[in-house]
Amino acid sequence: MTTVDLRPAGVQVGVGRRSLGDTVRAYVALTKPRIIELLLVTTAPVMFLAERGVPDLWLVVATLVGGTMAAGSANVLNCYLDRDIDLQMRRTRRRPLPMHGVSARETLIFGVLLGIAATLMLGLAVNWLSALLALTANLFYVFGYTMFLKRRTSQNIVWGGAAGCFPPLIGWTAVTGSISWAPIVLFGVVFFWTPPHFWALAMRYKEDYAAANVPMLPVVATETRVITEITIYTWATVLCSLALWPVADTGALYPIVAAVLGVAILIESHRLLGKVRSGVTGVDLNPMRLFHLSNSYLALLFLVIAIDAVAFA
């Protein structure tokens, strides 16, 4: 009798015993290291701002290690909960669970244990306020975004993306033990930055999200509306970034660089808006240019925060 393989093209079930190297690589991939990189970029520079100089090296290491574990835990649990739609999307079907690099049970256990270890690491080596903030971000990402918002509303990434805004708060509280307006402003920067960043990516993969029945904004709205909202949120990001200057009393370097970076990303968002209004559609819009630029924008903005804090200490 002939059997028919109904799995998407390119997806294969692992055969035989996994090597130790394959297993380690699968577990690392579950944590989504590239996403964690961005979270760390918004943690460490804020510690320099809070210290008004160079913070204690051990404190930085402990905060980043704990933050990496916390973010990794959230990403692992996201992979566990989204394993059905990951199998249907080209962008995600080669992740460890669809490829059977690890089992669902192993993934769940790994995610939970990593979250517990992260909370204890931050609580014992940094402080319990930072640990609580990291745990809150983790739980909100898993239960608020992944389990509730993602599959129910086109505003999923707007509110669900708030989970990724906690690293500035964690970095600040690691140094000061309290929260003030400066990290709240930076929370706002990441909050407003997230929708245009993610919607640009979602425009590129909207067929994937449509096939998985995930109502990302580019799936349910016109390209004109999506890019209009991208532009609005980009303006909000830039204005919020400039608010840090008076709130945190930064040196002169920060507002100059923030303004230059803001002009660059605004030009790109308005380029997209102009193209869609002139009738350009689909791949010709090239939204990935904005996606890649938004990565550089956030990394450079937070880098200059650290440089400014040291230079004008």
Q: Quick check: helix, strand or coil at residue 54?
A: coil
Mean residue pLDDT of the chain comes to 92
Other C-beta atoms closer than 10 Å to the C-beta of 2 total 3
Torsion, Cα 172 174 177 183, to 10 degrees, reads: 10
The upper half-sphere exposure of residue 140, i.e. CA atoms within 13 Å in the direction of its Cβ, equals 16
Residue 284 inside a domain? The answer is yes
One DSSP character per residue, 195-208 reads: HHHHHHHHHHTHHH
Digit-coded pLDDT (tens) for 30-47: 999 988 988 899 999 999
Q: Which residue has the higher pLDDT, 228 or 7?
A: 228
DSSP assignment, residue 146? I
Residue 144 inside a domain? The answer is yes
> Token pair for residue 96?
């460890």
Instruction: Report whether 118 contacts 138 (CB < 8 A).
Output: yes
Q: Which residue has the higher pLDDT, 284 or 7?
A: 284
Digit-coded pLDDT (tens) for 284-312: 899 999 999 999 999 999 999 999 999 99
First to last CA, the chain: 76
**In whole angstroms, what separates CA 298 from the centre of its chain?**
11
pLDDT more than 90, % of the chain: 83
Residue 279 inside a domain? The answer is yes
- What pTM did the predictor assign? 0.91
**Average pLDDT rounded to a whole number, residues 11-34:** 77
Angle at 168 between CA 167 and CA 172, to 5 degrees: 115
Whether residue 49 has pLDDT greater than 80: yes
Residue 253 maps to which CATH number? 1.10.600
pLDDT of residue 10: 41
- The domain in which residue 58 lies consists of 23-311
Residue 69 inside a domain? The answer is yes
Residue 278 inside a domain? The answer is yes
**Average pLDDT rounded to a whole number, residues 185-212:** 95
Digit-coded pLDDT (tens) for 219-253: 999 999 999 999 999 999 999 999 999 999 999 99
pLDDT of residue 17: 65
Residue 2 inside a domain? The answer is no
Domain count, the chain: 1
